[in-house]
């Protein structure tokens, strides 16, 4: 896998990166109904 992924990762790709130690935190950010950013870590 390249240093920078193109597009979204599949769940299997994410699991492989976590197992390899290359990913330790996943940040999911969305907007609420008024367009304000919200995030969950």
The secondary structure element, H or E, covering residue 37 is: strand 37-40
Alpha-carbon 3 to chain mean position: 14
Residue 33 lies in a domain: yes
Domains held by the chain: number = 1
Residue 6 lies in a domain: no
Residue 5 lies in a domain: no
Residue 23 lies in a domain: yes
Render pLDDT for 1-41 as a digit per residue (tens, 0 to 9): 456 657 788 999 999 999 999 999 988 888 889 988 887 66
Residue 4 lies in a domain: no
Containing structural domain, residue 19: 11-40
Q: pTM of the predicted model, to two decimals?
A: 0.57
């Amino acid at each position: 896998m390249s240093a920078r992924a193109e597009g979204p990762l599949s769940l299997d790709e994410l699991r492989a990166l976590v197992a390899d130690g290359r990913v330790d935190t996943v940040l999911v950010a969305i907007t609420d109904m008024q367009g304000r950013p919200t995030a969950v870590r």
